[in-house]
Chain A
């Protein structure tokens, strides 16, 4: 990591301009439909200036402040996941000739140089996990094509939401890697650090000033406060054994009473990777596109096995989700699949809190009523 330099707030547009000159399509956070979303953004003034968020179980609201900061909010429903693991993606096309022959065509995947600005540490941790999943022995061509040309400008998280617990999972709030360039926002501007050659090269092209010791001290204090102010936490970094040892815990029945099995938690989770394959077929049967779409382990179809369902009720579906997220991931990819972003808490219509459920499940059933 390079020494931090200061980009004055008034010069933030230079970051977008230099990326644009290098052929990157810039994607950044912006307010839309009452939430912060990531989409095309080439104008720094379109960032969420003066916006904060209030998040709680089952609640997400934007708040407006008089300050000039543009990253003083915690994550919205999505960030990197849909940009790399597309919600809907064609896998191949097939035509059937009049003679019955079938011809397959692979999907063209032109390289896209994209730069995402404002990525948080939790989503960088999730990106590392998706890289492990989709770029392993059988690399996913669509994911790989989008990942290869991705430039990431991360930002340290100074305003975690009430639902955040990245400090407890060890994934935030400070950015420690996984990006090309990282920013720390202060009132007067941004501390900038290059993490890769590409990031350092971009830094050289920005109108930077030396960072003062006051700037560095302020930045450090803000990040420390962002960590210590988090009130939620998981009861440990590795809950695999305790969860799999408690598959008959009465808490699974309790949470099943509150869970709607809607799959919102899966949709907003930055590490959930399940997808289902579908056909988009022409009515005359002459051609078809084979697609994949995001799937959820809360649906009946997810556990379909020739004529029956392995998981016919909400209890076993919630248990599948949680034992995978906090358990199976350790075997699959060497760590928990939870990065502490808290999205599943905020976007759950009934406010189910993964940290509360995990805590209850880690206690002996007899003691559960004490919580």
Chain B
């Protein structure tokens, strides 16, 4: 197994959450919002560290918890961004929170992106929909250490043009040296300036050295499977293709059993996996 990065945060089964407060609620798109959170206890805030790709359990008293990846800069773990789609019982209530509201936070959980192993390689970041959130911390990490990585290609696809998050961030990354950003929408609007179609179509249009590349993929599983196959066809070894998966995380420590994918507890063994390890099972209906 390649070197896995883990946060130094407090991880214990059944540990109660810490209180966090909403510093800011950012409206992102029609159904996406970001909660910028801060742990209220100074000691807990000072001790908190996370690795890009890890997630927190956000908890609302009397309502329940939900796993959300950490979408902010890992070099500033005192401010934790969580970009959320209002789709279920807990996330709909989270959507109504605003500045100063209090909630519970526990984490970070899981294994993040293999950024130490990826140093010295080109990076291809291929994401779809809200899959951009679990990798944005990895991009921030690499951009802050730009000299340790080769070329950087960031490809993000959305279903509808109106679903695109963070265009200013993509524009800023596109301006960096040796960095390419390509965006795709299946359903463009009149103003969409970028590619129309699947984001995986763009893999052949960006520059990277397939034999010396790490690829970070996050998004709907069919999109990740198509992307991984395309990368392999382009010559990227399956040991250098990493995917962030999502299952019904409840405990975060591999105890409750909901997130099992065959032999793996996705919350603990992942959520970031090497494609070479999981390709035999990923995509099988029911797993």
A interface residues, Cβ below 8 angstroms from B: 91-92, 94-96, 100-106, 133-134, 136-142, 240, 244, 247, 273-279, 281-282, 285, 287-288, 290, 292, 295, 297, 302-307, 310-311, 315-316, 319-320, 323-324, 327-328, 330-332
Contact A138 B262 (CB under 8 A): no
Contact A273 B64 (CB under 8 A): no
In the complex with contacts A105-B16, A310-B287, A332-B263, A138-B254 CB distance below 8 A:
yes
A-B contact pairs, 15 of them (CB 8 A): A100-B100, A104-B16, A138-B255, A138-B268, A140-B255, A141-B12, A142-B14, A274-B258, A277-B251, A279-B61, A292-B14, A295-B256, A305-B247, A307-B87, A316-B286
Contact B87 A138 (CB under 8 A): no
What separation, in Å, do the CA atoms of A289 and B286 have in the docked complex? 33
Choice from B256, B263, B264 contacting A276 with Cβ under 8 Å: B256
Query: Chain A residues with Cβ under 8 A from B256's Cβ?
Result: 274-277, 292, 295
Closest Cβ of chain B: how far from A265's Cβ, in Å? 15
Stretch binding the partner chain, chosen from B101-109, B114-122, B170-178, B232-240: B101-109
Mark interface residues in B53-94 (1 if CB within 8 Å of A CB, else 0). Answer: 000000101111100000000000000000001011001000
Contact A328 B263 (CB under 8 A): yes
Contact B250 A277 (CB under 8 A): yes
Residue of B nearest to A266 (CB): B257
Interface residues of B in 256-285 (CB under 8 A from A): 256-258, 260, 262-265, 268, 280-281, 284-285
Residue of A nearest to B265 (CB): A332
Residue of B nearest to A316 (CB): B286
In the complex with contacts A138-B11, A141-B14, A307-B88, A328-B260 CB distance below 8 A:
yes
Contact B12 A102 (CB under 8 A): no
B interface residues, Cβ below 8 angstroms from A: 11-19, 59, 61-65, 85, 87-88, 91, 100-104, 246-248, 250-251, 253-258, 260, 262-265, 268, 280-281, 284-287
Contact A279 B19 (CB under 8 A): no
What separation, in Å, do the CA atoms of A306 and B286 have in the docked complex? 15
Query: Chain A residues with Cβ under 8 A from B18's Cβ?
Result: 104
What separation, in Å, do the CA atoms of A278 and B62 have in the docked complex? 9
Closest Cβ of chain A: how far from B37's Cβ, in Å? 13
Query: Chain B residues with Cβ under 8 A from A273's Cβ?
Result: 255, 257
What separation, in Å, do the CA atoms of A303 and B254 have in the docked complex? 15
Contact A306 B87 (CB under 8 A): yes
Query: Chain A residues with Cβ under 8 A from B59's Cβ?
Result: 290
Contact A274 B62 (CB under 8 A): no
Query: Nearest 8 CB-CB pairs, A to B?
Result: A331-B263, A316-B286, A274-B257, A281-B62, A92-B16, A138-B253, A104-B16, A288-B62
Query: Chain B residues with Cβ under 8 A from A138's Cβ?
Result: 11-13, 253-255, 268
Query: Chain B residues with Cβ under 8 A from A247's Cβ?
Result: 284, 286
Contact A295 B257 (CB under 8 A): yes
Residue of A nearest to B280 (CB): A244
Residue of B nearest to A278 (CB): B64
Choice from B19, B253, B268, B281 contacting A102 with Cβ under 8 Å: B19
Closest Cβ of chain B: how far from A210's Cβ, in Å? 47
Query: Chain A residues with Cβ under 8 A from B262's Cβ?
Result: 244, 323, 327-328, 331
Query: Chain B residues with Cβ under 8 A from A306's Cβ?
Result: 85, 87-88, 91
In the complex with contacts A91-B14, A140-B13, A279-B62 CB distance below 8 A:
yes
Query: Chain B residues with Cβ under 8 A from A276's Cβ?
Result: 250, 256, 258
Query: Chain B residues with Cβ under 8 A from A282's Cβ?
Result: 62
Closest Cβ of chain B: how far from A144's Cβ, in Å? 9
Query: Chain B residues with Cβ under 8 A from A330's Cβ?
Result: 263
In the complex with contacts A102-B103, A104-B16, A288-B258 CB distance below 8 A:
no
What separation, in Å, do the CA atoms of A243 and B62 have in the docked complex? 41
Contact A102 B257 (CB under 8 A): no
Given contacts A94-B104, A96-B102, A137-B253, 6 further A-B contacts (CB under 8 A): A273-B255, A274-B257, A274-B258, A277-B250, A295-B258, A323-B262
